[in-house]
DNA sequence: CCATGAGCATTTGGATGAAATATGCCGTTT
DNA sequence: AAACGGCATATTTCATCCAAATGCTCATGG
């Protein structure tokens, strides 16, 4: 596959198809991360430097860099002296992650309610309307993207880059289940109603209210994901 | 040779020999991290693979691994195409970090209040007593360690490893200021009173109460640090 | 038939040389 | 004198080589 640095530079206008990192290591990192997060590589599958390297036509060094970062991030784990593999999600991991996301995202929403400027809510309102249209049309594929954008824009108003980064990292860990949530008709509908409510409370700068709505919003999401998790029989409670 | 021999010398002195860890990369990571969070290497100082490697008598590969991890963690930053350097703390970084720590640690305390078993509070009580003794003796050096242990034990009771890890990572980012807080007589005293109160509320399993006390506890810490930051601009403590 | 150990294969870890890259300096040109 | 372009240099980044650790297989001996 085309993974050459010079090529990337020269045809930079079509860079979207290629992971846009400035170094090979970062490109591998992004690509591997997406593969893990989206479930393209199954949990438990081994991730071997030489294998990845060969399949991409590059040496082991950048792959190693990527693997180590992903290990630190918790997406890969290592079996002592066997190698690396995709970390599997236990039920407790989901509960834990949602719990942390809840406090972090409700805090971000609170900050956003306080810090946002009046004209910054318009793009959010647009997303809500767009979401509604797609919902009416039954265009489920679009929902996922719009939903993501709404939340990113909302938390972006918190003006706290570290917080935003932490939230995104946490979201990656359970990305596999995002589709699950919005594929439920009722949930997709409720979701946008929540968004509308958040927006209204933001307008009123009701920090407590927004925080509460976001918390409840995530609680619903957690319950859906857990039901789905249990249904699939992926139940492996550790500890 | 126009490179800064001063950095080489100081880094070399600090990093010389701490040989505990799985792999060389891990050892370098730990050592470098300590050097950065304790302020042994000043913010803004450049961190160059080859320099660190030479001063430790090893190759660049493990050093590179360590540097990249620390960059991801936010302790090092990169100047576009110049190299890596120790990230400096802006005022907004402190405010941001304390804000996030507050929601995370108060959440951890809430979980701890719910999940702890009755006999698990005894070690915490011991720490409070020990702290008091050291305070009465004027043994400030000991306070720092005991304080850390108390909080680690408390959050440990939350039974949420991810949460604990995130809290610890955040603490590292402002570790340089911990000494500042507890060096103030009044603050050191107030601190233990807060701990006592937390413990009592934990016994009563008053989750809301514990959460509130932890939040206020951290708020005080933040204010102290910010005052200190504004006064000096930056704190340099010999270790 | 079972146990044990030696050798083999697999995989990560570390070292080193070579390449890419950006930057600052210096000389030339207008 | 100012601006522009090319060269020297510092530093990261990638590839390749070798070493060390560990599990597995298979043969051999009791």
Which residues 56 to 75 of B reach strand D, CB within 7 A?
60-61, 64, 68
pLDDT at A19: 54
First-last CA distance in chain A: 43
Split at pLDDT 50, 70, 90, the class of B15 is very low
Are A100 and B72 an interchain contact pair (Cβ–Cβ within 8 Å)?
A: no
Name the minimum distance, in Å, from the CA of A133 to any CA of chain B: 36
Given this structure, which CATH class describes domain B91-232? mainly alpha
pLDDT at B1: 31
Which position has the higher pLDDT, B198 or A227? B198
Find chain B residues with C-beta within 8 A of A107's C-beta: 99-100, 103
pLDDT at B29: 95
DSSP H helices, B2-74, are 5-15, 24-37, 49-56, 60-73
C-alpha–C-alpha distance, residues A190 and A192, integer Å: 5
Query: Domain map of chain A by residue range?
Result: 22-86, 91-231
Closest CA to B163 of A207, A100, A44: A100
Contacts across the A-B interface (CB distance below 8 Å):
54
Asked whether strand D has any atom less than 7 Å from the CB of A79, the reply is: no
Q: What residues contact residue B86 under an 8 Å CB cut-off, 6+ apart?
A: B36, B41, B42, B43, B44, B45, B47, B75, B76, B77
Question: Largest Cα–Cα distance of chain B, in whole Å?
Answer: 66
Which position has the higher pLDDT, B21 or A142? A142
Å separating the CA of residue A8 from the C1' of nucleotide D11: 22
pLDDT at A80: 78
Whether residue B57 is predicted with pLDDT greater than 70 in this model: the reply is yes
Kindly state whether A218 is in contact with chain B, defined as any CB-CB distance less than 8 angstroms. no
Whether residue B8 is predicted with pLDDT greater than 60 in this model: the reply is no
Given this structure, which CATH class describes domain A91-231? mainly alpha
Are B97 and A161 an interchain contact pair (Cβ–Cβ within 8 Å)?
A: no
Kindly state whether B111 is in contact with chain A, defined as any CB-CB distance less than 8 angstroms. yes
C-alpha–C-alpha distance, residues B207 and B107, integer Å: 9
Reported pTM: 0.86
pLDDT at A27: 94
pLDDT at A180: 75
Are A107 and B111 an interchain contact pair (Cβ–Cβ within 8 Å)?
A: no
Q: Which of residues 37-66 of B touch A (CB under 8 A)?
A: 64-65
Q: At which residue do the structure tokens 């797609």 appear?
A: A134
Kindly state whether B107 is in contact with chain A, defined as any CB-CB distance less than 8 angstroms. yes
pLDDT at A21: 62
Kindly state whether A93 is in contact with chain B, defined as any CB-CB distance less than 8 angstroms. yes
pLDDT at A204: 96
Kindly state whether B93 is in contact with chain A, defined as any CB-CB distance less than 8 angstroms. yes
Find chain B residues with C-beta within 8 A of A163's C-beta: 96, 99-100
Domain A22-86 has CATH 1.10.10.10: yes
CATH of B5-86, one of 1.10.10.10, 3.30.420.40, 3.40.50.970, 1.10.1740.10: 1.10.10.10
Asked whether strand D has any atom less than 7 Å from the CB of B47, the reply is: yes
Split at pLDDT 50, 70, 90, the class of B141 is confident
How are strands ordered across the β-sheet holding B76-79?
A: B46-47, B83-86, B76-79
Are A69 and B65 an interchain contact pair (Cβ–Cβ within 8 Å)?
A: no
Split at pLDDT 50, 70, 90, the class of B5 is very low
What mean pLDDT do residues B33-45 have?
91
Which position has the higher pLDDT, A11 or B64? B64
pLDDT at B113: 97
Å separating the CA of residue A113 from the C1' of nucleotide C28: 59
Kindly state whether B8 is in contact with chain A, defined as any CB-CB distance less than 8 angstroms. no
Per residue of chain A (239 residues), give pLDDT as tens: 334 333 333 323 333 344 556 889 999 999 999 999 988 999 999 999 999 999 999 999 999 999 999 999 999 999 877 899 999 889 999 999 999 999 999 999 999 999 999 999 999 999 999 999 999 998 888 998 999 999 999 999 999 999 999 999 999 998 888 777 777 778 889 999 999 999 999 999 999 999 999 999 999 999 989 988 888 764 444 43
pLDDT at B22: 81
């Amino acid at each position: 596959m085309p993974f050459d640095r010079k090529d990337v530079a020269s045809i930079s206008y079509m860079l979207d198809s290629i992971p846009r990192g400035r170094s090979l290591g970062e490109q591998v990192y992004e690509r591997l991360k997406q593969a893990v997060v989206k479930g393209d590589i199954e949990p438990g599958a081994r991730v071997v430097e030489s294998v990845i390297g060969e399949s991409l036509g590059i040496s082991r060094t950048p792959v190693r860099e990527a693997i180590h970062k992903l290990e630190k991030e918790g997406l890969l784990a290592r079996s002592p002296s066997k190698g690396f593999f995709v970390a599997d999600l236990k039920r407790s991991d989901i509960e834990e992650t949602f719990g942390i996301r809840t406090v972090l995202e409700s805090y971000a929403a609170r900050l956003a309610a306080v810090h946002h400027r009046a004209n910054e809510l318009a793009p959010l309102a647009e997303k809500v309307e767009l979401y509604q249209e797609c919902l009416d049309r039954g265009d489920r594929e679009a929902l996922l993207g719009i939903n993501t954008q709404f939340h990113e824009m909302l938390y972006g108003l918190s003006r706290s880059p570290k917080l935003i980064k932490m939230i995104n990292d946490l979201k990656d860990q359970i990305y596999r289940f995002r589709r699950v949530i919005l594929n439920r008709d009722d949930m997709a509908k409720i979701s946008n109603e929540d968004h509308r409510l958040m927006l209204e409370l933001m307008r009123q700068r009701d920090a407590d209210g927004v925080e509460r709505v976001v918390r409840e919003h995530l609680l619903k999401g957690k319950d859906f994901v857990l039901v789905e998790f249990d249904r699939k029989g992926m139940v492996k409670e550790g500890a």
